[in-house]
A and B are shown apart, each in its own frame.
Chain A
Amino acid sequence: MAGAKNEYEDSKLSVWLRESRATPALPSRFQENVWRRIESTAAAPEKSGNWLDALAALILRPRLAFAGVALLLLTGTLLGAQSGVQTARHAAQMRYVAAVAHEFTDRQ
């Protein structure tokens, strides 16, 4: 008897809760918009944008940017100086060879 009464009250409570829950009206074409967003997300994944953004943010850090500039300048200067010395050395060698053997040197 008591069990039947409880069951009756539970179902009544459920009905009452269901009725009291506010269900706001969905905006017009809600479902269509949701699907459109899902499709556009699937077509262009955000991942590539993420690593590009991360890399851009990384190189814009002042300390890293200055270090990069210094490294490039140093490497360029060292390699350029080495290549310039070799060019000058080769030119001096060619001058000597031309002086002692200009009738027989390779003039290609």
Chain B
Amino acid sequence: MKRSLLILLAALALGAALFAGAYFAAHRASELCCARPADDLNWLQLEFHLSNAELARIRELHEGYLPQCAERCARIAEKKRELDALLGSGTNATGVPVKQAEIAALRAECQSNMLAHFVAVSQAMPPAQGDRYLAEMKKFTLGAHEKIEQSMSGDCVHEHSH
């Protein structure tokens, strides 16, 4: 009986090792195989079943949008550094709300441009896919902030822009 138990335990261990080995090897292989496509837009084409013409139009929009987005982000980063400097010095407390307002205004501008870009991209897709794209993008960009705001304030959602 003891020998049988040992055989069963060994078989179980061997089976678990075989399964885990096969699982992780296949996981890694397919992850490496599918990862790092030529550019960020390959995901869009696969996920939303886009034709080459639709992808070309979206690429145009994407490449037009990215430099503007980068410029706005650089301006926000600069304002944040200025705010940090003000907070660190502790001497000019009156300047802090002004900097916060400037950052908020830049973020609002950035957000409205981003939403306009999402709408433009969704319109370059077939209608059903465009709706799905907009919903996905809202979930990843605005949804996260809404969740935080709701968790912090319960039913009453404070108005703050970003």
The residues in B between 122 and 162 inclusive whose CB is less than 8 angstroms from any CB of A are: 136-137, 140-145, 162
Chain B residues near A108 (CB-CB < 8 A): 144
Which residues of A are interface residues toward B (Cβ below 8 A)? 48-49, 52-53, 55-57, 59-60, 68-69, 72-85, 87-89, 91-93, 95-97, 99-106, 108
Closest to B11 in A: A59
Distance from B54 Cβ to chain A, minimum over Cβ atoms (Å): 15
Report Cα–Cα, A52/B142, bound state, in Å.
Answer: 58
> When the two chains form their complex, are residues A72 and B18 in contact, meaning their CB atoms are under 8 A apart?
yes
Interface of A is mostly: helix
Number of B residues, CB within 8 Å of A? 55
Closest to A79 in B: B23
Q: Does B42 contact A (CB under 8 A)?
A: yes
> When the two chains form their complex, are residues B137 and A101 in contact, meaning their CB atoms are under 8 A apart?
yes
**B145 contact from A85, A96, A104, Cβ within 8 A:** A104
Distance from B10 Cβ to chain A, minimum over Cβ atoms (Å): 10
Chain B residues near A72 (CB-CB < 8 A): 15, 18-19, 22
The residues in B between 1 and 48 inclusive whose CB is less than 8 angstroms from any CB of A are: 1, 3-5, 7-8, 11, 15, 18-31, 33-35, 37, 40-44, 46-47
